[in-house]
Amino acid sequence: MKDAFGAPQSLLVLGGTSEIGLATARRLVARRTRTVWLAGRPSPALTAAAQSLRDLGAEVHTVPFDALDTASHEERLGKLFTEGDIDMVLLAFGVLGDQTHDEDEPLAAVRVAQTNYTGAVSAGLVCAKALQSQGHGSLVVLSSVAGERARRANFIYGSSKAGLDAFAQGLGDALHGTGVHVMVVRPGFVRTKMTRGLAEAPLATTPEAVALAVELGLRRRAETVWVPGALRVVMSALRHVPRPLFRRLPL
């Protein structure tokens, strides 16, 4: 169960090797979380991630999970909930793709869209249903500021996150009053292996900062969390910039 401050005792991370996912797990393990399920494609990285959390004192299990294999989600994820309550699901998987390459290679672009959007729709619905029948829990979805308004530089990734963001908001509304809480997290540029080598955007942040924002958001039962918080203001201004001008901004 979650405590009065929204700190969960059990956690499922979809995208078990995600740096933001793991930073969040570390933070929550330092509070109340004792059981962690790391779902991801079996790999040495996943095993190492599990071990790093075990070293912090948590009981960690790994679960084979592939965002693209949507047919398996129901069975793989549904099973976890029968073994005990899961207080929080963190939907943390996603790929950035390579915009220039993907524009020439539609199949690669489709893979980005399928991972970030289709996979999340499937896994998100499976988990939401399970959370709903246990009558409590949080579904935390890692969206991105990129989904707020598509930019020339990464509109494939951005559009997939836009879809995910809209999906998660709608799901949150659908689950309102069911005891299940859906929280959309919109980080800006996060310094991780996914963004290594890319030019850093203003207001760049770290996985640890995102983890902190998630913990605070859980406490407030927030529906939307921006990381850093200043992005809320920046994006609400950018959203209204006319397109001819927006196109020319150095973003």
Query: Does 151 participate in binding other proteins (rule CB under 8 A)?
Result: no
Q: Which of 1, 45, 48, 110 binds other proteins (CB under 8 A)?
A: 1
Give the burial string for 201-233 (b: 16+ CB within 10 Å, else e). Answer: eebebbbebbbbbbbebbeeebebbbbeeebee
The C-alpha R_g of the chain, in whole angstroms, comes to 17
Query: Does 32 participate in binding other proteins (rule CB under 8 A)?
Result: yes
- Nearest-angstrom CA–CA distance, 128 and 134: 10
Work out the burial of residue 240: count CB atoms within 10 Å of its CB; fewer than 13 is exposed, 13-18 middle, 19 or more buried.
exposed
Question: Rounded to the nearest whole angstrom, what is the least distance from the CB of residue 212 to other proteins in the complex?
Answer: 11
Residues 41/65, Cβ–Cβ less than 8 Å: yes
Query: Does 4 participate in binding other proteins (rule CB under 8 A)?
Result: yes
Stretch that binds other proteins, among 114-122, 155-163, 173-181, 198-206 (CB under 8 A): 173-181
Stretch that binds other proteins, among 64-72, 110-118, 134-142, 199-207 (CB under 8 A): 134-142
| Residue of 37, 93, 157, 226 marked active site | 157
Query: Does 56 participate in binding other proteins (rule CB under 8 A)?
Result: no
- Whose CA is closest to 67, among 124, 12, 24? 124
Of 177-206, which residues contact other proteins (CB under 8 A)? Answer: 177-180
Q: Which of 5, 64, 68, 72 binds other proteins (CB under 8 A)?
A: 5
Per the annotation, the verdict on 117 as an active-site residue is no
| Closer residue to other proteins, CB minimum distance, 95 or 182 | 182
- x-or-dash string of contact with other proteins, 214-243, rule CB under 8 A: -----xxx----------------------
Binding stretches for other proteins (CB under 8 A): 1-7, 9, 31-32, 85, 128-129, 132-136, 171, 174-175, 177-180, 219-221
Would you please indicate which residues are annotated as catalytic (active-site) residues?
Answer: 157
